Structures are given as C-alpha cells and as structure tokens.
Amino acid sequence: MTKEKQVAGVALVCVLLSVAASTFAGDSADARFKGSGKVDLARISNVAVKPSGEAGVGTITFDLAWDWSWRAAWDVDAAQTGGKDKLKLENWDAAWVFVKYRMPGGSWHHAMLAAEAAKHTVPAGAALEVGKSNDGKKGVGVFIHRATAGQGPNDWKGVTLRWLLPVGADAEEGGTSEFEMHATKDKPVEVVAFDPAKAEVKVLALEMVYVPQCAFWLGDGTTNVVAGQFTAGLGNAPFRVESEQAIKLGGDTAEYLNNHDTVGMEPNSMDDFNSDQPTTLPAAFPKGYAAFYCMKCEVTMALYVEYLNMQPYARQAVSVTAKLSMPGGTLAMNNNSHNSPRAGVFIQAPGTPDSMVPLQVARETFVMSGTVTQPGTAAVFKTTMPFVPCHFMPCQGARGFAVWSGLRPMTELEYEKACRGPVKPVANEYPWGTTGIAGMDLAAGGKYALTNYNQETESISWVGGNGPDATRGNAFFAGNNAALGGPTRVGIFATPESDRVTAGATYWGILDMAGSVAEKAVPVGEAAARGFSGEHGEGGVVLWGGIGLGQRGGGYPTGFSGHSPGWGRLDLFRISSRFHARNFLNSGGDIFDGTRCVRTAPVEK
C-alpha cells in the first residue's frame, strides 16, 4: 500500500482521541478503544507452501483473521496539540506476520521475504507493507491491515508471501554441527538444492497499532510527586519533540531536555545527565517523532513459549528463570521472592547443555585427536496460561524475543508518545488520559472480580464503590486486585461498549500500558543506551547486547504497601513517571517483568 509520508513542514496522518469530525464518512474515533470482549489475537490458518515458478523463490499462502479492527482519520486543531497548524491524523491496527522454518532434524530459521510489497498478494480490503532487513534488501516480515476506513472483524483468505529460499549453508538438510563437520571432513560434499516442500513452516502474527509521525510532548508539567519527569530545561514545563534530530540533554534552558535534575528517581539508578552534566541524545536514537508500530498488547505466555521452543539451549538458558535441567513440570518463569498464581510457563522436557567431547579423525598418515563442541538438546516448554502476559521475563529474554520476531525494543520517548499522542499533556495523567484510576482511594474499598478464569472469555467486573467511571480508568494494581494474585488476560478491559478510559487504552488504542506488567524501554539516561539506533531484529543473532532496558508504566505489584521504594506508589502508573526508567536494566526476571516490542514503520519511496 502507498501511504502519504510526512516530509518537512507537512503533517502525516495519525489519530485523534477527542471529539472531532471524521474525514471518512461513517467512521468512529471510538473504534480503537473497543474490543471483542474476549481474547482477540491475530489467527493464522490453512498454511500452504508451494513453488513459485521462479528459481530460488517459494510461496507461502495462509488465511489471517482477528475479530476487532479499525482504521480512522481525523483532524486535530492546533490549540489541542500546541503546534502551529491543524494536524491531519490517521491510525489503524495491523498484524505483523513473520515466518519460521526448519528442515527435518534441523534448527529453526527465519524466512526472508521479497522486499517489494508488490510481489506479495493480499485479498480485497487488505493492504500490505514490508518490514525490511536493516540493509533494506530483504523482507523480515509484513504488516497487513485495512486498506480503507472501517471497523469490525477481519477475515482475509489466501494471503500469499514470496519466500526467498535459503542458499549455501542455510539450505543444508537439517544443518551441520561442528562435530559432524570434523567427522566428515574428507567425505565428498553433495550440494542439495533447498526443497521448501520438505520444510516445516510456521507463520506467526502479532497484532500491532500504527503510531503515526507527528510532534508530541514529553513530561506533563507535574509538581506532584516528582520522579525524573522530562522537562524543557529546569522547571516543570513539558518538552515538545518536533523531529528525529539530536536532542541536547540536561541543560537549564528550554532547548535542553531535562529531567528535574534526576530528582525523585530510584536513588541507585538515576540518569547520568543533569543541568551540570549535559550530554546529547544522538539523531539515530528513535525519538518517537517518526511513525512506528507498537504491539497492541504485551507478549503472552503462549507467544513466549513459541519463542522458547524455537531457541537453542544456550538462548533458552538466559530466557527463563529456572535451570533447564529441572524435570518436566517445573515452573520455568518464577521468583522465590514474588510468586504469582498466574505464572504458567513450565518445562515440559528438560534440556542438556552443549558439551566438549573427544574426537579422533583418521588421516592418511596420522590420527588427529582433540575436542569439539557437541550440541546439546534444547528444553521443551508448555504453558497453562496462554492468554496472560508473560511475567518474570529476564531482560535477555525480552531482547531475544524482539530479535526472533523481527522487531525491536521501544524507547522511553516512544512510550510517552504511544500513551499521550500529539495532544498537550495533562499533569499527572495516566495512559487513558485522566488523573484517576479505579480503586485509587484504598479506604473506600472496592475491587475487581474475575469470571471465566483462564478462558478465552475471561472477563472482569468491579464490586463495590470507587470503581471505574468517566475519570477513573481501568488498570490492575495490588490494591484493587490482590485477590487475583497477578495479571489477567491481555486486553481484558476492551469490550464492545468500552471507551478510552474504561478500556484503559492509550490515545492510539494500545492496551495495558499501565498496570498488568511493566513496559521495558530503552532509557536515555545511560551512555550505552544512547547508542541504540533502532536496528530491528532479523530472527537470528541477538542485538543490543550492551543495552539495558528500564521500566515505564508500573507493573502489577505497584500499589502494594510494605515493599521496597517504588512499590506502593500509584504515581508510577502515570505516563511521565520515570522512577524506574534506568532501573532493572538487566533484570533476571521478576513478577513485574514482561515486554512488548515495536518496529519503525516502513517508509515507501
């Protein structure tokens, strides 16, 4: 699909929360804040792999469906955004589709696709964009979404992607280990063309939301519970981001992005810049101004198990909290200090690590002896809570999932834009745009009740007073959810009747950005993290190894008194709170540790 892209001085489309006239007849701004009332993840079915008739290219055909979708366009007055001109905005939800394959006896690989959108086929009513490799030569996956304005279910038959078949070592039947290469060194090598018909192929889809290019604000001007919120220089005024150019950090004048000089941040993890120690956020660091796609919900346990079961032993070992040698039935994602009854990733079959083994290879005049690495056996995982956000996720697991899925971590600037949109900030606001949260008056009582526990139709209701209303948004914290013991299924507050506040949704229709589990984000307050330049994963080698991921949005235990600093504080749920922005950078996995990923939107030339 060809979309208008913003250039200097020209506004690109995004979406409006507040009441405005739609540019598309019959469309509703509220569609993005609704849902099917049940688990509604993108579904893939009827996968078929066939030759294309072109050398080195195969085709992968499948059906794609999900039950609630939208696309809408709006105008926003300059008075609402603080800009100079009226802003034309559009947004939609989409499925990010990527493909994995393996040959018999081999390991899983990422299928690379044709880089040109025109070489893929979608049915009427759908549009397709290619998410390219970092060198721009191949497709890592595709975004598929509505081609025109509308809302309701999607059910697209016969989507066809062109698969660039592997060549050379990647085309070997099952791959070859170091052990096998040494043992068969003198044997003739038979070059076998890759046969896609013999491959096991999995097509996976993640539902995402388009956050379009436009200026936005960092910080909300609060003077209530300061926690490192962004400001324009010293003082309380928010900072407006108007491009992807480098930003000066820490100074005391308005052109500098300051942080209240780190006042109120977690004492052991404050930013490394302030008005006395200025620095620069490089142009390559994703600021949030450019368009990007963000996962609509956090990574579920079912998705994380898919990831784990496609990894070698060494990658699995750093992606769970348990030892892989533990017997089947062992909880793989947990923490002895903070248990959760909704932790549901288990070891189904234990794994064995790589080992060094002796090897003797006979040559013509001598016998070569030594040791080589013999690959271990990966563990097998299962889940009993497929629709619940994966928590206790180690930081290395979050990075690994992003690479495996062809995405990347979000930055903390992108987090604020994904929550607030382009409108001027409200002091102390939560992601749903108000300053209230259900159950925030603990003395008044009231709590959530859960029905259809762990089912696709798992749903929530409020019992007692002090509950959700026009200003008190829905989000879990221990004070209103202690009896449930952990997060519920993803997107539980989005129903056919919900609005932004009752859905607990962001300006763009992204769900659960406060409460549930914390959002991992690349911080700006650390030198190594400022070197992040937005490279996307390509399914294989894990990137960003030296970059830690801080937390924004507050995780489930927030609001539970009696714990360490930062727990028992609902202000951590606020969009601008940066108390933990540079904390837990390389967490080994705790109850609040989950993740969601983003991808810079394709730019068609």
317, 199: one domain:
no
Higher-pLDDT residue of 600 and 170 is: 600
User: Within this chain, do residues 203 and 322 fall inside the same structural domain, yes or no?
Assistant: no
* Helices and strands per DSSP (H, E), number in the chain: 9, 27
- Residue ranges making up the domain that contains 349: 301-357+373-386
Res. 392: pLDDT tops 80 = yes
What's the pLDDT score for residue 174? 43
**Residue that finishes a domain, picked among 211, 242, 262:** 211
Q: Let me know whether 58 and 201 are in one domain.
A: yes
244-254 pLDDT per residue, tens: 999 999 999 99
Per-residue confidence (pLDDT) for residue 398, from 0 to 100: 95
Q: Is residue 41 part of a domain?
A: yes
Give residue 360's pLDDT band: very low, low, confident or very high (50, 70, 90): confident
Q: How confident is the model at residue 4 (pLDDT cuts 50, 70, 90)?
A: very low
Q: Return phi, psi of residue 401, to 5°.
A: -65, -40
Residues 206 and 305 in one domain: no
Tell me the pLDDT band of 341, cut-offs 50, 70 and 90: confident
Spatial CB neighbours of 197, under 8 Å, sequence gap ≥ 6: 49, 51
**Long-range interactions of 108-112: CB distance < 8 A, separation 24+:** 108/310, 108/311, 109/166, 109/170, 109/539, 109/540, 110/140, 110/404, 110/406, 110/538, 110/539, 110/540, 111/60, 111/163, 111/164, 111/201, 112/138, 112/139, 112/140, 112/163, 112/164, 112/166
Is residue 486 assigned to a domain? no
11: pLDDT strictly greater than 70:
no
Determine, yes or no, domain membership for 476: no
Same structural domain, 201 and 311: no
What single DSSP character describes residue 560? -
Q: Does residue 515 fall inside a structural domain?
A: no
Residue 169's pLDDT is what?
A: 52
- What average pLDDT does this structure show over 224-228? 93
CA–CA dist 189, 171 (Å, integer): 13
Does 199 share its domain with 337? no
> Are residues 307 and 203 located together in one domain of the fold?
no
Model pLDDT, residue 602:
95
**Structure-token pair, residue 604:** 């068609």
- Structure tokens of 251? 């100074």
The total number of structural domains that make up the chain: 2
Could you tell me which of 93, 91, 81 has the C-alpha nearest to residue 29?
91
Residue 480 pLDDT = 81
In the chain, % of residues over pLDDT 90: 72
Instruction: Look up tokens 């979050």; give the residue.
Output: 398
Domain assignment of residue 112, yes or no: yes
Q: What's residue 568's pLDDT?
A: 58
Backbone angles phi, psi at 304, to 5 degrees: -65, -35
* Model confidence pLDDT, tens digit, residues 16-28: 333 333 333 334 7
Average pLDDT value for residue range 433-447: 91
Query: Which of 31-45, 349-363, 406-420 bottoms out in mean pLDDT, i.e. has the lowest?
Result: 349-363
What local confidence, expressed as pLDDT, does residue 339 receive?
78
Does 455 map to a domain? no
Is the pLDDT reported for residue 482 higher than 70? no
Q: Does pLDDT of 206 surpass 50?
A: yes
Q: Are residues 181 and 46 in the same domain?
A: yes
Show the CA angle centred on residue 507, arms to residues 284 and 3, nearest 5°: 60
- In tens, the pLDDT along 551-595 reads 999 876 554 444 444 455 888 999 999 999 998 888 888 888 899
Q: What digits encode the pLDDT tens for the residues 147-161?
A: 999 999 999 999 999
State pTM to two decimals.
0.90
For residue 155, being part of any structural domain is answered with yes
What would the DSSP string read from start to end of 117-154?
GGGSB--TTEEEEEEE-TTSSSEEEEEEEESSSEEEEE
For position 20, what pLDDT does the model report?
Answer: 33
Residue that finishes a domain, picked among 153, 185, 211: 211
Are 463 and 451 in contact by the 8 Å Cβ rule? The answer is no
**Helix/strand/coil (H/E/C) assignment for every residue in 72-93:** EEEEECHHHHCCCCCEEEEEEE
What is the mean pLDDT of the segment spanning 352-375?
78
Is there a domain that residue 127 lies in?
yes
Q: What pLDDT, in 10s, does the model give residues 72-111?
A: 999 999 999 999 999 999 999 999 999 999 999 899 999 9
Q: Are residues 180 and 62 in the same domain?
A: yes
What is residue 443's three-state secondary structure? helix
Helix (H) or strand (E) holding 412: helix 412-420
- Residues 195 and 330 placed together within one structural domain of the fold: no
| Pair (309, 202) in one structural domain | no
Q: Give the end of a domain, one of 181, 211, 241.
A: 211
Arithmetic mean of pLDDT, 37-51: 95
The lowest-confidence range among 28-42, 190-204, 513-527 is 190-204
On whether both 179 and 80 belong to a single domain, the answer is: yes
